[in-house]
Structure 1
Amino acid sequence: MVRVSAGVAYDCDVLVVGGGIVGLSTAYAITRAAPGIRVTVLEKEAGAARHQTGRNSGVIHSGIYYRPGSLKARYAVKGAAEMVKFCAEYGIAHAVTGKLIVATEREELPRLHALVQRGRENGIPVRELGAAQIGEYEPEVRGLAAIHVGTTGVCDFVGVARQLGEASGAEIRYGARVVRVDRRPERGVAVLTSRGDVVRARVLVNCAGLYCDEVARLTGDEPGMRIVPFRGEYYELARPELVRGLVYPVPDPAFPFLGVHLTRGIDGGVHIGPNAVPALAREGYGWGVVRPREVAGTLAWPGAWALARRHWRYGGGELLRSASKRAFTAAVRRLLPAAEAGDLVRTAAGVRAQAVLRDGTLVDDFLIKEAPRAVHVLNAPSPAATASLPIGREVARRALETLGSV
Structure 2
Amino acid sequence: MHDSNVYDYCVIGGGIVGLATAHLLLAKNPGARLLLVEKQDRPGAHQTGHNSGVIHSGIYYEPGSLKARMCRRGASWTKEFAAAHGIPYEECGKLLVATDSAEHARMLALYERSVRNDVDVELLDAQELRRREPRIDGVGALFVPATGIIDYARVAAALADEVTAAGGEILLNTEITSITETSDAVTVAGPATSRRARRLVVCGGLQADRLARMAGLRIPLRIIPFRGEYYRLPDSLKGLVSTLIYPIPDPELPFLGVHLSPTIDGELTVGPNAVLGWSREGYRKGSFALRDALEIATFPGMRRVALTHARTGVRELRNSLFKRGYLAECRRYCPELTLDDLLPRTAGIRAQAVLRDGTLLHDFMIESTPRSVHVLNAPSPAATSALPIAEYIVERLESASEH
TM-score band, normalised by the shorter chain?
over 0.9
- Aligned partner of 2:154 in structure 1 is 159
- Aligned partner of 1:270 in structure 2 is 268
Q: 1:339 aligns with which of 321, 337, 340?
A: 337
Instruction: Give the deviation of 1:36 after TM superposition.
Output: 3.4
Instruction: Give the deviation of 1:286 after TM superposition.
Output: 3.0
Does residue 350 of structure 1 match 2:345? no
- Aligned partner of 1:213 in structure 2 is 209
- Write out aligned runs for 1:139-288 (5 A): 139-168=134-163, 169=166, 170-184=168-182, 186-194=183-191, 196-238=192-234, 239-288=237-286
2:262 & 2:138 partners in 1: Cα distance? 19
Pair 235,241 (structure 1): closer, same or farther in 2 beyond 3 Å: same
Cα-to-partner distance string for 1:257-313 (whole Å, 9 max, x where unaligned): 000000000011111000000101111223331110111112221111111111111
2:196 & 2:64 partners in 1: Cα distance? 38
Letter in 2 for 1:286: R
Letter in 2 for 1:43: E
- Aligned partner of 1:364 in structure 2 is 362
Pair 350,193 (structure 1): closer, same or farther in 2 beyond 3 Å: same
- Aligned partner of 2:321 in structure 1 is 323
Letter in 1 for 2:179: V
Letter in 2 for 1:148: F
The answer to whether the Cα contact below 8 Å between 1:97 and 1:152 also exists between their aligned partners in 2 is yes
- Aligned partner of 1:56 in structure 2 is 51
Letter in 2 for 1:110: A
2:49 & 2:110 partners in 1: Cα distance? 28
Letter in 2 for 1:140: R
1:352 & 1:248 partners in 2: Cα distance? 18
Does residue 377 of structure 1 match 2:396? no
2:118 & 2:33 partners in 1: Cα distance? 38
- Write out aligned runs for 1:96-107 (5 A): 96-107=91-102
Letter in 1 for 2:335: P
TM-score (norm 1): 0.95
The answer to whether the Cα contact below 8 Å between 1:367 and 1:378 also exists between their aligned partners in 2 is yes
- Write out aligned runs for 1:26-105 (5 A): 26-105=21-100
Q: Any unmatched runs of 5+ in structure 2?
A: none
The answer to whether the Cα contact below 8 Å between 1:285 and 1:349 also exists between their aligned partners in 2 is yes
Cα-to-partner distance string for 1:85-144 (whole Å, 9 max, x where unaligned): 111111102111101000001111111001111111111111111111113332210100
2:16 & 2:141 partners in 1: Cα distance? 32
- Aligned partner of 1:4 in structure 2 is none
Instruction: Give the deviation of 1:9 after TM superposition.
Output: 4.9
Determine what percentage of the aligned residue pairs are the same residue. 44
2:336 & 2:222 partners in 1: Cα distance? 41
TM-score (norm 2): 0.96
Instruction: Give the deviation of 1:8 after TM superposition.
Output: 6.7
The answer to whether the Cα contact below 8 Å between 1:30 and 1:400 also exists between their aligned partners in 2 is no
Instruction: Give the deviation of 1:151 after TM superposition.
Output: 0.5
- Aligned partner of 1:3 in structure 2 is none
1:111 & 1:354 partners in 2: Cα distance? 24
**Aligned length in residues:** 397
Letter in 1 for 2:250: D
1:291 & 1:310 partners in 2: Cα distance? 25
SS in structure 2 of the partner of residue 331 of structure 1 = helix
Instruction: Give the deviation of 1:11 after TM superposition.
Output: 3.1
The answer to whether the Cα contact below 8 Å between 1:10 and 1:202 also exists between their aligned partners in 2 is no
SS in structure 2 of the partner of residue 53 of structure 1 = helix
The answer to whether the Cα contact below 8 Å between 1:96 and 1:153 also exists between their aligned partners in 2 is yes
Cα-to-partner distance string for 1:310-333 (whole Å, 9 max, x where unaligned): 111111111111011111111111
SS in structure 1 of the partner of residue 305 of structure 2 = helix
Letter in 2 for 1:120: V
Letter in 1 for 2:218: E
2:307 & 2:295 partners in 1: Cα distance? 18
1:10 & 1:403 partners in 2: Cα distance? 20
2:392 & 2:39 partners in 1: Cα distance? 24
2:56 & 2:360 partners in 1: Cα distance? 20
